[in-house]
Structure 1
């Protein structure tokens, strides 16, 4: 918010010293006026539309959402606030403590795919929201407005509003709705087929109330190009997933130099492995790759903590920490039983002056190998790529390795999101989101 103009001053008597320059007061707002073509949910028109949606059977999703309505805790947390509403409406157990003895989702607990400090400053992209949703136990179908038509959008509106099992979060430009600001995320709460009006449950309650908007206008609001990604916005269909809600692992890449990171995979390794003698065996291949990866690459994968108790007395986190330790132990057993672990661990030892590598380092490095997206390996010679794919594929995991398979899938989605958001390489055939 920009400062207001300076207030007028009264000249001081000539004999008096000049007063110090007072700082102009900061301009603040108490909400914004809703444009006339949007009907506030609590207005007479809004209530009438809601009754129509309810009688038509297209307000079923509203009750779960309204019972878990969340106002975003930061001005740029609209995506996280929308996800929190959906997660709690679907009764997803976060598996970690919120405050005191309670497990519950709050928007400042959803750190995955992008740091919270970054989201607080710049918000989220379309792909980042999809990634965070998957990290926290949701099945996600992401549809950009550029790839669907209005009729499909209406069918999806009818699908989500007529049940309580599938939710929709829309990503749109406020400008198209004649609102202030630009990119925004909101859950959908009801739909009126006859008048094509849709209830947008705005988590930025400090700015606008929930409101009914023309569905076609909302669809058009998804089409403008997001200047951050160069792509249109869109919407998400979200359902409760079958897996453990929270990932055991997370990606930590705050200090990664992305240009050199990609250069290793698309320049250095392809040139090195063009010589077949470098990778006569799978062990040789892994040894060659490890020796050229960024130092400390195992630290890009970290085990998550059990969460912080911000309200309760100390010492109450022991049970949750014990449960997390058991899950990480089970994951470690599955990783160390995989053939790739032995090769990665041995290669790390050869590249370490001390010659000894902690077990957990080898585990995290192996998970890193398995979770990197295919786009990073496409320039490798065919023989090397085939060997690596055989070692990395989830199909190589047995029925008892479901935990490892789940972690690899989630981390791979995070890597895709990170690489797409950081892509300034000019290789659009590799950066799948551009």
Structure 2
């Protein structure tokens, strides 16, 4: 039934542009906005944030046993930025969506039983539920803005023209974004360039400067090429002027070199003889799509895929033909077959990231074995996703420390999080229109 309701589109018509972001996409952007705004109270975003809180909480609850409500209240407020007053409505959403079972005494929730499906995308389910929600114009505008900034940083004037919304509406969203840290505003080369730390974790000022130099369209094209071919060697891109047979323009080649040199892509390197080879990946996602505790796993995955790409594209002797298949075998079997290149190819992965170790089968021949820790297994799976050009999975948003706390008793959780009470919320002033409506209402009540 929920999935049938997802077909009911929520649309707002701005000038000539019809914006319709619904379902899974809407749920993901709502979660991004909730995470990005963090501890701020924004009266403009009541419905949107409830959806975002529901999606974010569902990700954290997946696979957990029953949780005491008192524990969930404290952890959600302190670590998930879900205020205690909002938690019950959020749990009602998850209950209606079939993702939690609530145990109640009268009107009080005493315990919850997480029932978040393992093999369904959380945001598909929340997106289906969202079809019954009614978002305000400001909420829909912020979703549309974030949908653009997720692809690339953007010139403010170009964004306004593309979305076709009133400038006052854009300015209201940007004011909220700037105050909360959801959106960064950069004045470079006579332009105002907007970025979102939610989607680009590193060097937003440098990214804005590049956008002002080459334009957002060139940047978006380059990001798409790299996303589909994560871990491609920089030297090969420069020498061949293409990636996997796709030609690149001189401007795009220059942009790739600038991205690599300005510490925006944070590419892993592998020593090949006396030279150091750089392998390119898209910019590391921000906290909304990659939790701080998962960053090390993501870096291990990039290093592993870089080593595999080295064997595929810059082999000493025998090239790897299908990187994703090789990584799947590594995960399944726990080792890679012996060859004479293993130590040179996977040495940094083993030494720096401790993903695996070597077994000599005969002189100069080594197998590469996976150290089967939870983190390493997850890193291999992420490397497979990257090799296949996929986005980071929902599980990369999990906060393992918070999930561990949810399984403790209230006394222990209180000792860890402190007894100072719930987090103090920062408030963003309401819009002029909302303030005027409130003033008129209070005058009528006098």
Q: TM-score range by the shorter chain?
A: under 0.3
Larger Rg: 1
Q: TM-score, normalised by structure 2?
A: 0.24
- Structure richer in helix, relative to its length: 2
* TM-score calculated relative to the size of structure 1: 0.24
